[in-house]
Structures are given as structure tokens and as C-alpha cells.
């Protein structure tokens, strides 16, 4: 069959770039390996650099080809058809690029190429070969994720350039069987949650952060390779804090997106994918601080290697979690399984294997470990028992790592003093590591369920908070006081003198805020466990203030206000403000949308609660928190339906004064149904956050009096629900006057009745019984009019294979009064959190600039 309008050359070009990128990365890695072995040095260096340049051009070529396909809507390609459509605004084409697994892997490869080229142009010759060899190997694995080829029954990667008609998921769709299927073909479109400006900048920033963890990792591996455990840390330190800044910024952008686009009412939900980005950042923060210890005093060598390596390995593990399908429905962010679970496991384990091999000093143990690992891999592929062999191998690797550390790794000659800066920086890094292990354990519950056939439920947000608050308090206290310690030893009296003023201020201001916030009203009403929560909130609040005051004091008094040297203090202030803002805004989050109407909101379903769901009829003005709110009506812009609401306050004379307007939106997306997007009014001291939980999106404009709107067709099963403007209708039962055999024998009149129960906004229940009438294989339409609600039903089709029925419903305009159900929250002092984000990023940038300046001075 000759298909009309297909642009096959584009896919062929993209596939050529993929193959070329894989081969070039492989050759580059081989070249850098032999360059590192000092064999034919200049020839291998030239060969490796040329291959990496070709690889870089190929990756850019893949990205340019995919963008070209998306911009031109080449729907013959599965990736383009799945993630874009004709109606999509052009600014979201970038979001289409990285919505799917293939695009996100490509984005990761692109940033690795950018950082890899910067690294090889700026790195010392001593470290170029070993670092770039590992860099190239990582690119080999990522390029393999884009191949989409079968080796026997095993699929290697998933290809962004596969044709729609060749994709096994869609090849049997009827329209693909036609020669001219592209003439009227439109794409499925973008996930509506990604149609937000944050999603054009958050993913690339986050993936740049993921890529940046690779640089400290390759330096640490190079240190093990060359048996030089110290000097690699000097060039790696600046890259480490760059990674802390970029990855942290990406995570914070994700929180801002969740706050603005998702309807759970917050910015952090301890979602497994959120955790998978947070954990590498926590470990990288710890790595950066132990590197500072090593730079100023020496020591902490094993901890430096462990944390620099672990951060990247945790990025790989997060890749496995989010792309293997193992999370299932436990995360709203996770990708579905595209058959790459085994490949992702091999990806993670390969780099664990390399780290352990390079850590082993004894040649006999190293060779034995390699042979045992290969034999276990062969046994797993050939005979099965993969889980048992994997767990055994991980245990073996752990034991060898501990043995190598004890036996061969350099140790500190003397222990740090209790009153030294390096001791408490090390303790802080250890706290970051332990907290990341706790989060990783809880995030990995779906993995443990799969490995051990368990049915353990993921823990709730409150449980995460309960576990993390003690870690957070300890970190804040360390952030507050550690800078006042000197390296090696500090006078305890002088230390206490320095921190005493900040401590007094933190306690005084903290208690004056904590007592009215948490104890005057809440304490007497709280249960025993909640009382402990309130006490922990108080300690966390005071600790955050203590960290802010101490670092501000250190900047102003010890550093004399000099900006150049204040990067750490500024970043610490920002970190403390983030935690302070998060604490206040979440713990004192107030629901202001209690139902003040006379409507029974509970009748709409179990998800509607009078304590949080306000029923607002068009034209009515109802109290909501400190405001009165009026629903003015809806406005459709493309697939977006905006619900315009005015908020009023009263002046001294009781007259209503318009305060502001909000327009929460519901996206009427043909692919994913109705997706609610909140709207928020930002004040200096709080935010008013609103989102729609129920609304009719149909156009109610009808000119003829008492006419019905255009009918809407519903396909449903028993107990399914149909929504009208003024009622919720449940398909309660289906009855018939004849069995199938009786009808086939007598060719009699078959009457099938759908029993519908309609519940109005006041909780009154009405019964409707539209009939499906079949006589001599001819359907005789029969209307049922429910006058009390102004509804008309036609039961016109039965789908016996699917067990469903189809019912048309029309609503009479004269009896329909438009209403919405909304939820609204007040987040107090959330701007403290956003201010902290900005301050922390600025502080990290200042620290990076100063670090680079000092490195240049020492190099001169």
C-alpha cells in the first residue's frame, strides 16, 4: 500500500542520527579509555575527541529532527501523534518534546553533551581521559534507550521516530489502514497538566540538574581509577555547587508548577517522583560540604567519594523508578512501562559494578568479583532466579565495598575535635545522607512489593512529615551554628558568645509567633499525637529563625557585610526561609470554602463535603472566608473554560467593594476529559487559592424560550453517573420484558428499561425510566421527560459486547440554573517560601563565582 503524504525521510534521518550517536559515544569511550591507559596518547586523544564531537552533533541532530517533526505536525510518526495536535499553542511544542520517555531521554543526552563539551575544554589534562571515558559510557547507555530495536525477543530502547502505522499499540487502528489516513488526522494532544508555562522551563532545568550530578560522579570515579583520592575534589567542587544550584532550582520550579497547575492544594506532596529528584539533591548537598572539609583540612575521603558517586547513582535509580512502570498508580508523574525495565536495571547496576571494581585494590579480589558478577548475570539470563541472584550480588558488592574501605582506603590520622567546623559539617552531611535513605526506603515500597510479593501501602504525607521534621530541625541547627566554628578547634566560650544573641532573638520571636499560631486555639482541641505535631512545629519554627539570625549575624558582623564571601551565609538564609515558609503555609493552611449556600453539596457525591465545597449559583453572592464571592458566568477560549468570580469586601458602611477577580479554569480536553487548573490571588501576607471541582462545560446559550439544549450522548454501565447542571443521575438498573431467547423465537416487541435515579442539589431524588424499544429489528425512539428537573432522556443504543448502554440527555434552559462547586484555601506567608528560593539560588551563585575566582588566583 502506498501511503499518501508521509515524510519518511525525516524519520530515516533521525534514526541515522541515533545510530551514529551510539557508535560515536562507544568509540569515544574506547578512545578515552586507552588515552587514560597512556597507550599512544596523542592518537587516542584525537580519536576520542573527534568521536565525542560526532556524538554531540548527532544528539543535536536527533533533537532538531524531533522538533522539526513536532513543529510541522507530522502525525505519521507515533511520538508526534501522541503528544501534540493542531489546536495546541506553539509555546507548548517544547513541552511535547519532553512529555514522553523518548523525549526526556533525549533531553538528558543533550544536557550531557553540553556539560561534557564544557568539561573537556576546561579540565586539566590529568583528569580528561578518565572522566570523559565514563561520560561517554553514560551516553552509550542513554543513546541505547532511543534505539527501539529487537534483539531476539528483547526490545532495546524505544524509538521516537517509529511510524504510527508500525507502532504495535496503534497499528490495528482502522484509520491507519487507509492510504490517505493523514488527510484529516489530528494528534491526541498534550497532557493538559503540562500546558503551563512552568512546564516549558521546569523539565529542562531539572534534567540539567540531573546531568550536572554526572560531573562530580566522573571525577570521583576518576579518583578511584587513578588512586588519587584528593586532588580531583578541587575541580569537582565548583561543579558540585553548580549541581546543587541547578537541581535545587529545578525541584523548586516543580513545586511552583504543582502549586499553580495541580488541584491538590499545595506545592509538595511527597510524590515518589518528587522524592526521586529531592534525594539526589540532598546527597549532593552533603557531598559539597564534605568536599569543603577536604579542601580546608583534608580527610573525609571515603565520605566524599561515597556521596559524589551516590548522588548520580540515585539519579539512575530515580530513572528506573519513573520509567520502568514499577510505581504504577502511586505517582502522577511516572511514565508507563514501555518494556525497558530490564534495560534500566542493567543501566543502574553497570555503574554500581564499575564503582565497586575500581574501589577494590587487591587484583585477585577484583578479578574474582568480576568473574562472579558475570557468572551470576549469565545464570540469571539462562536459568532465572533473577531476584535472588540480584539480592545476592548486591549483598556481595556491599561487603566488598566495606572490606575495601577498611583495608585499603586512606583514613584520617586524627579525629576531629568536637569544637571544630569540620566535625559539625561532617555531621550535617551525615544527616542529609540518613534523611535521603529514609525517603528512598519509603519511596521504594512499590519496588519492595514487586521483589518480595508484598502488599505494603505507601505511607501518607503526614507520615513523611513526621519522619522528616526531626532531620530538618537538626539540619537547621547545624546551618545556624557551624559557620561560627573554626577549622580544627574553637574556643567554646567564644562560640557561645557569638551565637547567644541570635539564639535569644530566635526564642523570643519564635515563641511570640508559635504560641498564638499553634497553641492558643489548636492545642486544647488537638489529640495527643497532634499535640506532639504542634510541639514539633514550634521547634522547627524556632530552629528556622535561629538559622536565619545566625547566618545574617555572621554575614554582617564576622564577614563585615562583604558580599563576595557571603555566598554560604546567603544560601543558608534562603534554605531556612524555604523551610519556614513551607511550615507556616502548610500547617496553617485554611479552608475558606465551607458551603454557605442552602444547597446540599453532599448529594453530588462522596467527594463533595460541606466543610470544603462551596456551591455557587450564577448571580448569587455568598460569604467565603473574609470575602463575599459572586459567580458571574463562564467563558470558553478554545478548550479552556474560565469561571469568572468577583471577590468583595465591605467598607465601614457595609457597602460591597470589589477586592479582586479570579478565573479558575477547567480544560475540556478531548484526550483526558476535564482537568481543573486553579487560580490564585497573591497578597504579600497570604495567597487565596481556588479551583473548580464541579461544573457544566456545555454552552447554555439558547435563544428559544423553554427549548432544550443540544443533546449530550453518554456511554455508561450499571451504577455509572451522568452529570446535569442541576442534578446527578445514576444508572440504577436495567430491566427487560423478554429474555433474548424469547425475543428470537417470537420476534416480539422487546422493551429494555433503564431505571435512572436523579438527585438534585437539595438532595431530592427523582426517577426516570427511558425505554429502548426494538420491534422487528428496528429501534423505536422513545423520550422520557422528567419535568421536575427539566431533563429529557432517550435510551437509544445497547452495546452487548461491552456491557454498556447509550443514553442521550437534553436539558431545558428555562429550568436550568448554572452553578459550580469550588474549593478555596488561604495559604498564609507562602511568599516567605518563594523568597527563600530566590535567596538560596543567589547565595549559591555567589559561592560558585567566588570559588571560581579563588581557583583562578591559585592557578596563576
Instruction: Report yes or no: 770 and 784 within 8 Å, Cβ to Cβ.
Output: yes
Q: On the CB side of 528, how many CA atoms lie within 13 Å of its CA?
A: 0
Instruction: Report yes or no: 102 and 339 within 8 Å, Cβ to Cβ.
Output: no
What separation in angstroms does the CA of 392 have from each of 104, 331, 389, 407? 32, 29, 5, 22
C-alpha cell of residue 549: 539570625
- Dihedral in degrees, nearest 10, Cα atoms 228, 229, 234, 240: 130
Rg of the chain taking only CA atoms, in angstroms: 31
| Mean pLDDT (the chain, rounded) | 86
**Which residue stretches of 72-100 are H helix?**
78-83, 93-99
Give strand pairing partners of 643.
634
Average pLDDT over residues 606-625: 85
pLDDT digits (tens, 9 = 90+) for 21-41: 999 999 999 999 999 887 557
Asked if pLDDT for residue 334 goes beyond 50, the answer is no
C-alpha cell of residue 676: 481543573
Name residues whose C-beta falls within 8 Å of residue 386's C-beta, 6 or more positions apart in sequence: 380
Instruction: Report yes or no: 44 and 31 within 8 Å, Cβ to Cβ.
Output: yes
Higher pLDDT, 56 or 736: 56
C-alpha cell of residue 154: 528483547
Instruction: Report yes or no: 700 and 692 within 8 Å, Cβ to Cβ.
Output: no
Spell 3-15 as b/e; 16+ CB within 10 A means b. Answer: eeebeeebbebbb
Higher pLDDT, 715 or 210: 210
Compute the Cα dihedral for 576, 580, 586, 589 and give only its sign.
negative
Measured CA to CA, the distance from residue 354 to residue 573 in angstroms comes to: 39
The helix/strand/coil state of 265 is coil
| pLDDT score for 760 | 78
pLDDT digits (tens, 9 = 90+) for 689-707: 998 988 877 766 544 556 7
Of 267, 250, 249, nearest in space to 258 by CA: 267
pLDDT digits (tens, 9 = 90+) for 115-135: 999 999 999 888 999 999 999
C-alpha cell of residue 82: 501522541
Asked if pLDDT for residue 439 goes beyond 90, the answer is yes
Measured CA to CA, the distance from residue 350 to residue 138 in angstroms comes to: 10
Asked if pLDDT for residue 555 goes beyond 70, the answer is yes
| pLDDT score for 529 | 47
pLDDT digits (tens, 9 = 90+) for 217-255: 999 999 999 998 899 999 999 999 999 999 999 999 988
pLDDT digits (tens, 9 = 90+) for 522-542: 544 445 447 778 889 999 999
Helices 301-323/233-261 angle, 10° precision = 30
Higher pLDDT, 240 or 325: 240
What is the DSSP-derived secondary structure letter of residue 380?
Answer: H
Measured CA to CA, the distance from residue 582 to residue 576 in angstroms comes to: 10
Average pLDDT over residues 259-275: 80
Average pLDDT over residues 585-613: 83
| pLDDT score for 170 | 75
| pLDDT score for 335 | 47
Return the beta strands (E) in 154-296 as ranges.
Answer: 154-156
Asked if pLDDT for residue 451 goes beyond 90, the answer is no
Residue for grid cell 439544549? 709
Average pLDDT over residues 728-741: 80
Instruction: Report yes or no: 451 and 387 within 8 Å, Cβ to Cβ.
Output: yes
pLDDT digits (tens, 9 = 90+) for 788-813: 888 999 998 888 777 788 899 988 87
First-to-final CA distance of the chain: 69
Amino acid at each position: 500500500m502506498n501511503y499518501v503524504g508521509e515524510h519518511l525521510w525525516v524519520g530515516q534521518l533521525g534514526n541515522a542520527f541515533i545510530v551514529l550517536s551510539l557508535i560515536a559515544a562507544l568509540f569515544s569511550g574506547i578512545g578515552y579509555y586507552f588515552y587514560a591507559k597512556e597507550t599512544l596518547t596523542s592518537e587516542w586523544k584525537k580519536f576520542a575527541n573527534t568521536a565525542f564531537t560526532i556524538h554531540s552533533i548527532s544528539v543535536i541532530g536527533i533533537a532538531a529532527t524531533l522538533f522539526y517533526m513536532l513543529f510541522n505536525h507530522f502525525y505519521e510518526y507515533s511520538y508526534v501523534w501522541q503528544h501534540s495536535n493542531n489546536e495546541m499553542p506553539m509555546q507548548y511544542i517544547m513541552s511535547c518534546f519532553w512529555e514522553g520517555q523518548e523525549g526526556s531521554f533525549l533531553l538528558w543526552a543533550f544536557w550531557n553533551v553540553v556539560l561534557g563539551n564544557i568539561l573537556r575544554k576546561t579540565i586539566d589534562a590529568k583528569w580528561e581521559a578518565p572522566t570523559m571515558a565514563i561520560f561517554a559510557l553514560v551516553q552509550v547507555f542513554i543513546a541505547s534507550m532511543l534505539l527501539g530495536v529487537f534483539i531476539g525477543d528483547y526490545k532495546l530502547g524505544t524509538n521516537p521516530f517509529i511510524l504510527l502505522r508500525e507502532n504495535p499499540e496503534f497499528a490495528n487502528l482502522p484509520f491507519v489502514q487507509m492510504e490517505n489516513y493523514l488527510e484529516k488526522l489530528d494528534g491526541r494532544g498534550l497532557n493538559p497538566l503540562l500546558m503551563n508555562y512552568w512546564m516549558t522551563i521546569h523539565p529542562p532545568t531539572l534534567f540539567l540538574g540531573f546531568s550536572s550530578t554526572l560531573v562530580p560522579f566522573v571525577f570521583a570515579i576518576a579518583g578511584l581509577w587513578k588512586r588519587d583520592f584528593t586532588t580531583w575534589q578541587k575541580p569537582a567542587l565548583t561543579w558540585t555547587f553548580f549541581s546543587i544550584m541547578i537541581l535545587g532550582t529545578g525541584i523548586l520550579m516543580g513545586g511552583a508548577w504543582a502549586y499553580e497547575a495541580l488541584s491538590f492544594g499545595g506545592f509538595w506532596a511527597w510524590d515518589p517522583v518528587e522524592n526521586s529528584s529531592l534525594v539526589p539533591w540532598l546527597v549532593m548537598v552533603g557531598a559539597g560540604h564534605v568536599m569543603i572539609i577536604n579542601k580546608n583540612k583534608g580527610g573525609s575521603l571515603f565520605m566524599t567519594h561515597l556521596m559524589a558517586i551516590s548522588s548520580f547513582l540515585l539519579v539512575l535509580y530515580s530513572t528506573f523508578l519513573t520509567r520502568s512502570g514499577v510505581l504504577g498508580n502511586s505517582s502522577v508523574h511516572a511514565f508507563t512501562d514501555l518494556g525497558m525495565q530490564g534495560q534500566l536495571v542493567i543501566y543502574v547496576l553497570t555503574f554500581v559494578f564499575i564503582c565497586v571494581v575500581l574501589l577494590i585494590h587487591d587484583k585477585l579480589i577484583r578479578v574474582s568479583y568480576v568473574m562472579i558478577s558475570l557468572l551470576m548475570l549469565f545464570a540469571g539470563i539462562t536459568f532465572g532466579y533473577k531476584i535472588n541472584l540480584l539480592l545476592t550480588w548486591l549483598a556481595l558488592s556491599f561487603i566488598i565495598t566495606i572490606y575495601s574501605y577498611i583495608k585499603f582506603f586512606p583514613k584520617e590520622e586524627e579525629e576531629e575535635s568536637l569544637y571544630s567546623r569540620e566535625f559539625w559539617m561532617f555531621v550535617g552531611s551525615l544527616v542529609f545522607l540518613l534523611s535521603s535513605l529514609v525517603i528512598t526506603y519509603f519511596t521504594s515500597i512499590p519496588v519492595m512489593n514487586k521483589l518480595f510479593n508484598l502488599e505494603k501501602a505507601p505511607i501518607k504525607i503526614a507520615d513523611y512529615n513526621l519522619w522528616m521534621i526531626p532531620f530538618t530541625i537538626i539540619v537547621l541547627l547545624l546551618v545556624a551554628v557551624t559557620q561560627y566554628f573554626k577549622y580544627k578547634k574553637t574556643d567554646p566560650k567564644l562560640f557561645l558568645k557569638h551565637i547567644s544573641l541570635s539564639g535569644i532573638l530566635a526564642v523570643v520571636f519564635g515563641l511570640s509567633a508559635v504560641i498564638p499560631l499553634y497553641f492558643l486555639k489548636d492545642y486544647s482541641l488537638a489529640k495527643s499525637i497532634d499535640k506532639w505535631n504542634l510541639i514539633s512545629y514550634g521547634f522547627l519554627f524556632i530552629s528556622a529563625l535561629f538559622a536565619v539570625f545566625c547566618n545574617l549575624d555572621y554575614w554582617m558582623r564576622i564577614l563585615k557585610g562583604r558580599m563576595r564571601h557571603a555566598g554560604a551565609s546567603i544560601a543558608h538564609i534562603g534554605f531556612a526561609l524555604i523551610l519556614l515558609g513551607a511550615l507556616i503555609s502548610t500547617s496553617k493552611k485554611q479552608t475558606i470554602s465551607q458551603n454557605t449556600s442552602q444547597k446540599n453539596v453532599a448529594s453530588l457525591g462522596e467527594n463533595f463535603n460541606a466543610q470544603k465545597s462551596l456551591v455557587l449559583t450564577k448571580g448569587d453572592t455568598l460569604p467565603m472566608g473574609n470575602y463575599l464571592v459572586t459567580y458571574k458566568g463562564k467563558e470558553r477560549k478554545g478548550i479552556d473554560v474560565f469561571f469568572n468570580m468577583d471577590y468583595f469586601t465591605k467598607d465601614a458602611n457595609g457597602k460591597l467593594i470589589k477586592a479582586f477577580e479570579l478565573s479558575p479554569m477547567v480544560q475540556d480536553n478531548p484526550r483526558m476529559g476535564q482537568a481543573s487548573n486553579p487560580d490564585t490571588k497573591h497578597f504579600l501576607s497570604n495567597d487565596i487559592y481556588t479551583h473548580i471541582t464541579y461544573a457544566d462545560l456545555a454552552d447554555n446559550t439558547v435563544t428559544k424560550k423553554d427549548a432544550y439544549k443540544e443533546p449530550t450522548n453518554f456511554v455508561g454501565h450499571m451504577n455509572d453517573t451522568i452529570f446535569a447542571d442541576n442534578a446527578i443521575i445514576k444508572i440504577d438498573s436495567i430491566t427487560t420484558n423478554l429474555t433474548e431467547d424469547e425475543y428470537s423465537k417470537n420476534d416480539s416487541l422487546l422493551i429494555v428499561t433503564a431505571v435512572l435515579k436523579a438527585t438534585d442539589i437539595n438532595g431530592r431524588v427523582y426517577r426516570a425510566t427511558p425505554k429502548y424499544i426494538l420491534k422487528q429489528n428496528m429501534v423505536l425512539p422513545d423520550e422520557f421527560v422528567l419535568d421536575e428537573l427539566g431533563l429529557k432522556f432517550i435510551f437509544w443504543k445497547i452495546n452487548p459486547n461491552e456491557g454498556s448502554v447509550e443514553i442521550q440527555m437534553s436539558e431545558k434552559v428555562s429550568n436550568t440554573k448554572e452553578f459550580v462547586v469550588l474549593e478555596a484555601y488561604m495559604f498564609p506567608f507562602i511568599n516567605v517560601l518563594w523568597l527563600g528560593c530566590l535567596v538560596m539560588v543567589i547565595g549559591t551563585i555567589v559561592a560558585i563565582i567566588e570559588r571560581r575566582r579563588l581557583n583562578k588566583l591559585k592557578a596563576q
